[in-house]
């Protein structure tokens, strides 16, 4: 199987993204890895779809991989949203505080954010 430039570029970007997730706070690493994996699956399915467009089984497989990738991206977004929610500053990692974010319904919810530098 011959590698094309787009698939090499996707592989390099995915490798770089996996390596950069180590720089994140431990609380956010696993959702980030899931998001990178979902992005890789979505991009890989799209790249595989082009040469397999005339093959029914190949087209079905590529679209299935893309759908699984989008589902992984959605799951990562929900997981990260749950991780950054907080009730008090104790719920947040060191160096972050729980800051209220108002909503259009008049209620507010807390989000862990970096503490302002002083």
Write out pLDDT tens, residues 23-45: 666 777 788 888 888 988 888 88
Q: Are residues 61 and 109 in the same domain?
A: no
Q: Are residues 31 and 73 in the same domain?
A: yes
The sheet carrying 108-114 orders its strands as 85-86, 108-114, 96-102
- Domain encompassing residue 95: 87-118
The 10 Å CB-count burial string (b at 16+, else e) for 14-37 is beebeeebeeeeeebeebbbbbbb
91 pLDDT above the threshold of 80: no
Q: Are residues 60 and 110 in the same domain?
A: no
Q: Are residues 17 and 50 in the same domain?
A: yes
Mean of the pLDDT values across residues 70-85?
Answer: 88
At residue 12, the pLDDT reads 72
Radius of gyration of the chain (CA): 19
Residue 70: pLDDT band (50, 70, 90) is: very high
DSSP reduced 3-state for 98: strand
Average pLDDT value over all residues in the chain: 79
At residue 28, the pLDDT reads 72
Residue 2: pLDDT band (50, 70, 90) is: low
At residue 10, the pLDDT reads 67
Q: Are residues 98 and 64 in the same domain?
A: no
DSSP reduced 3-state for 59: helix
């Amino acid at each position: 199987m011959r590698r094309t430039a787009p698939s090499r570029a996707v592989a390099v970007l995915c490798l770089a993204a996996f390596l950069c997730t180590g720089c994140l706070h431990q609380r956010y690493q696993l959702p980030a890895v899931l998001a990178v994996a979902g992005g890789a699956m979505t991009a890989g399915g799209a790249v595989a779809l082009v040469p397999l467009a005339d093959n029914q089984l190949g087209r079905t497989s590529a679209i299935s991989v893309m759908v699984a990738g989008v589902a992984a991206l959605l799951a990562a977004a929900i997981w990260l949203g749950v991780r950054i929610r907080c009730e008090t500053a104790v719920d947040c990692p060191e160096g972050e505080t729980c800051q209220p974010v108002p909503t259009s319904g008049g209620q507010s919810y807390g989000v862990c954010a970096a503490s302002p530098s002083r």
